[in-house]
């Protein structure tokens, strides 16, 4: 059995019911929108984020979830999907999950509007049910994600990203949404504030490890959701590259920065940059940092009693850094 299927076992029923509720939450009276949302639902990813919501909710809610948990998971997935649609426009990316992205099929204007529609659907789902505590969690995450993207764009122009700035970017861009998933699961079953905070921290640490793993894929040879070297092409400063720039000779550093800045569309040059990063130990450094975040997240998780849901979260944590895609 695949790892994801193993993780889903203790929340199998919840995930099946969630699929129905999530599809309903996207419905619209506009035929074009329904065609597009149908396309989105059929090309869904691993749905890790709702899984976090349900695993945390059941761990802290005596093995039970409620309607708030389903709404929380739907809000998270709606917002996540909206950010993916907008991300593909921002990154000018034509591929998403191994298939054409929405903007590749329907162009940027429609993609931006669909992203906005999904965002508003998510926010309204909370407001209509007066889940203001859940709305606050997701609204903070959206603010942070937008700031993270803008900080990354600003820094990519000058290529002056330090390790500290990099961690701040990925905390905002990626970790905040996973932190929101875990906090949402806890808050949806009205867990004590201290436990909601702990779960938020757990999700944030896991999110940091998740993004570093994502960065490492840029240096791999496997076919994954995004092409190799795409981050360099987009002038995104990943952790392996930042480390390499810190340790190579001044001449190599100058050549690498010039390559990323001015020759980022030259496939041969990008491959050479990737080789330089590997030679400088950039990948090993990133793996060490990724494992550090995983270990810190595990410390928080181990403070809760052992059960099928905690085991699921632990498997999820290990899956994040061991996944091949």
Which tens digit of pLDDT belongs to each residue from 108-154? Answer: 778 788 888 889 988 999 999 999 999 999 999 999 998 998 888 88
pLDDT of residue 223: 47
CA 182 to CA 187: how far, in whole Å?
A: 9
CA 169 to CA 145: how far, in whole Å?
A: 9
CA 183 to CA 204: how far, in whole Å?
A: 10
pLDDT of residue 230: 74
Is 238's pLDDT higher than 80? yes
Nearest to 15 by CA among 58, 119, 2, 26: 58
Integer CA distances (angstroms), 154 to 132, 143, 169, 235, 262, in order: 33, 17, 11, 11, 17
Q: Which residues on adjacent β-strands are paired with residue 100? A: 95
Which tens digit of pLDDT belongs to each residue from 68-121? Answer: 999 999 999 888 888 877 777 766 666 655 555 666 667 777 878 888 888 998
Residue 306 CA, distance from chain mean position: 26
Nearest to 178 by CA among 196, 201, 149: 201
Q: How many CA atoms lie within 13 A of 30 on its CB side?
A: 9
Q: What is the pTM of this model?
A: 0.88
Q: How much of the chain exceeds pLDDT 70, in percent? A: 90
pLDDT of residue 162: 87
CA 177 to CA 154: how far, in whole Å?
A: 21
Is 205's pLDDT higher than 90? yes
pLDDT of residue 156: 75
Judge whether 170 and 186 are in contact, CB under 8 Å: no
Query: 2, exposed or middle or buried, with CB in 10 Å at 0-12, 13-18, 19+?
Result: exposed
pLDDT of residue 262: 85
Judge whether 122 and 130 are in contact, CB under 8 Å: no
- Domains of the chain, by residue range, sit at 3-322
| Strand residues in the chain grouped as ranges (E) | 95-96, 99-100
pLDDT of residue 94: 61
Nearest to 218 by CA among 243, 245, 244, 237: 237
pLDDT of residue 283: 93
DSSP states of 243-305? HHHHHS-HHHHHHHHHHHHH-TT-HHHHHHHHHHHHHTTHHHHHHHHHHHHHHHHHHHHTTSP
CA 277 to CA 305: how far, in whole Å?
A: 42
Provide the pLDDT confidence category of residue 189 given band limits of 50, 70 and 90: very high
Which tens digit of pLDDT belongs to each residue from 35-76? Answer: 777 777 666 667 888 999 999 999 999 999 999 999 999 999
Contact partners, residue 300, CB within 8 Å, separation at least 6: 198, 201, 202, 205
The dihedrals phi and psi of 99, each to the nearest 5 degrees, come to -135, 175
pLDDT of residue 309: 95
- Indicate the CATH number for domain 3-322: 1.10.600.10
Which tens digit of pLDDT belongs to each residue from 208-234? Answer: 999 999 889 878 755 444 556 677 777
Both tokens of 308, joined, read: 């099928």
């Amino acid at each position: 059995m695949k790892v994801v299927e193993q993780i889903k076992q203790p929340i199998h029923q919840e995930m099946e019911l969630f699929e129905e509720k999530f599809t309903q939450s996207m419905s619209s009276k506009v035929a074009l929108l329904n065609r597009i949302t149908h396309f989105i639902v059929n090309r869904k990813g691993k749905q890790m984020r709702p899984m976090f919501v349900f695993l945390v909710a059941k761990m802290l809610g005596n093995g039970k979830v409620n309607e708030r948990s389903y709404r929380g998971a739907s809000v998270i997935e709606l917002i996540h999907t909206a950010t993916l649609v907008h991300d593909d426009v921002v990154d000018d990316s034509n591929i998403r999950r191994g298939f054409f992205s929405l903007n590749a099929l329907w162009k940027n204007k429609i993609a931006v509007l669909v992203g906005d529609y999904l965002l508003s659907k998510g926010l309204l789902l909370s407001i209509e049910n007066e889940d203001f505590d859940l709305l606050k969690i997701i609204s903070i995450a959206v603010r942070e994600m937008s700031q993270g993207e803008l900080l990354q764009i600003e820094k990519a122009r000058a290529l002056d990203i330090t390790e500290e700035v990099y961690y701040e970017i990925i905390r905002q861009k990626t970790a905040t949404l996973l932190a929101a998933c875990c906090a949402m699961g806890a808050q949806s079953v009205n867990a004590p504030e201290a436990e909601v905070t702990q779960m938020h921290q757990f999700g944030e640490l896991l999110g940091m490890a998740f993004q570093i793993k994502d960065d490492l894929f840029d240096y791999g040879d496997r076919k994954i959701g995004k092409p190799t070297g795409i981050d360099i092409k987009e002038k995104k400063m990943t952790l392996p590259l930042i480390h390499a720039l810190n340790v190579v000779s001044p001449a190599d550093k100058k050549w690498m920065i010039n390559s990323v800045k001015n020759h980022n569309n030259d496939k041969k040059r990008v491959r050479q940059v990737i080789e330089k990063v590997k030679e400088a130990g950039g990948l090993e450094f990133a793996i060490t940092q990724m494992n550090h975040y995983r270990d810190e997240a595990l410390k928080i998780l181990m403070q809760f009693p052992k059960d099928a849901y905690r085991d699921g979260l632990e498997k999820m944590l290990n899956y994040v850094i061991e996944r091949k895609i």
